[in-house]
Homo-oligomer: A and B are copies of this chain.
Amino acid sequence: MYIYNFEDGNKDMRDILGGKGAGLAEMTRLHLPVPKGFTISSDSCLKYLDDNKFFDELKPEIDEKINELELKTHKTFGYGENPLLVSVRSGARVSMPGMMDTILNLGLNSETVNSMIKKTGNSHFVLDSYRRLIEMYSDVVLGLPKGSFGEILNNMKKEKGYTKDSELTDDDLRLLISKYKENYKNLTGYEFSENSKELLYNAVKAVFKSWNTERAKVYRKLNEISDSYGTAVNVQEMVFGNLNDNSATGVCFSRNPVNGKNELFGEYLTNAQGEDIVSGVRTPSPIAKLKEDMPNVYDEFLSYAKELERHYKDMQDMEFTIEDGHLYILQTRNGKRTAKADVKCAVDMVREGIITKEEAILRVDSNRLDEVLHKEFNEDDLKGHEPIAKGLAASPGAAYGKVYFSAEDIKKAHDDGEENLILVRTDTSPEDIVGMKLANGMLTVRGGMTSHAAVVARGMGSCCISGCSDIEIDYDKKLFRVGKNIVHEKDYISLDGSTGNVYVGMIKTEDAKASVELQTFMSWCDDIRKIGVRANCDTKIDAENAVKFGAEGVGLCRTEHMFFTDERIFDLRRMILSPNEEIRKESLKKLEEYQRKDFLDIFSVMKERPVIIRLLDPPLHEFLPKKEEDIKKLAKSLDMSIEDIKKEIDEKKEFNPMMGHRGCRLDVTYPEIGRMQADAIAKAAIDAKKMGINVVSKIMIPLTISKKEYLFVKDIIVNELDKVMKDEGVKFDYKIGTMIETPRAAILANTIAPYADFMSFGTNDLTQLTLGFSRDDSPKFINSYIDNGLIKKDPFKSIDTEGVGKLVDLACRLARLANPSIELGVCGEHGGDRDSIEFFSRIGLNYVSCSPYRLLNARCSLAKAAIKEKMD
Contact = CB atoms under 8 A, between A and B. Distances in A.
Contacts of A656: 656-659, 768, 774, 776-777
A807 B703 contact: no
Interface stretch (A242-250, A273-281, A786-794): A786-794
Contacts of A658: 655-656, 659, 772, 774
Contact of A703 (B657, B765, B772): B772
Given A706-B791, A712-B788, A744-B771, A655 B655 contact: no
Contacts of A708: 789-791
A68 interface: no
A790 B705 CA distance: 10
Contacts of A789: 708
Contacts of A800: 744
Contacts of A790: 668, 706, 708-709, 712
A741 interface: yes
Interface residues of A, number: 49
A109 B412 CA distance: 86
Nearest to A765: B772
A658 B773 CA distance: 9
A663 B781 CA distance: 12
A654 B777 contact: yes
A771 B742 contact: yes
A396 interface: no
A169 interface: no
Number of chain copies forming the complex: 2
Given A665-B781, A668-B785, A804 B744 contact: yes
Interface string A344-369: 00000000000000000000000000
Contacts of A791: 706, 708-709
Interface string A752-778: 000000000000010011111110111
Nearest to A792: B708
A615 to B, nearest CB: 15
Nearest to A663: B772
Interface string A295-332: 00000000000000000000000000000000000000
A660 B669 CA distance: 28
B742 A788 contact: no
A735 interface: no
Contacts of A661: 777-778, 780-781
A771 B780 CA distance: 25
Contact of A770 (B663, B669, B744, B776): B744
A583 interface: no
A299 to B, nearest CB: 55
A818 interface: no
A145 interface: no
Nearest to A658: B656
B770 A742 contact: yes
Contacts of A657: 655-656, 774, 777
Interface string A829-843: 000000000000000
Residue in A663, A771, A802 with the greatest tally of chain B CB atoms within 10 Å: A771
Contacts of A660: 774, 777-778, 780
Contact of A769 (B654, B743, B806): B743
Contacts of A67: none
A712 to B, nearest CB: 6
A665 to B, nearest CB: 5
Nearest to A660: B777
Interface string A630-672: 0000000000000000000000001111111101010011000
A570 to B, nearest CB: 24
A122 interface: no
Residue in A668, A790, A807 with the greatest tally of chain B CB atoms within 10 Å: A790
Contact of A803 (B705, B776, B802): B705
A569 interface: no
A804 B748 CA distance: 11
A673 to B, nearest CB: 13
A155 interface: no
Contacts of A663: 772
A178 interface: no
Contacts of A654: 774, 776-777, 780
Given A659-B774, A668-B784, 20 more contacts: A655-B658, A656-B656, A656-B657, A656-B659, A657-B774, A659-B772, A665-B781, A669-B780, A705-B771, A706-B790, A706-B791, A706-B802, A708-B789, A708-B790, A709-B790, A742-B772, A743-B803, A743-B807, A744-B771, A744-B803
Interface of A: 654-661, 663, 665, 668-669, 703, 705-706, 708-709, 712, 741-744, 747-748, 765, 768-774, 776-778, 780-781, 784-785, 788-791, 800, 802-804, 806-807
For the complex of A and B, the 5 pairs showing the least CB-CB separation, nearest first, are A659-B774, A656-B774, A743-B743, A744-B803, A660-B777
9 contacts: A657-B777, A658-B774, A659-B773, A659-B774, A659-B777, A708-B790, A743-B769, A748-B803, A769-B769
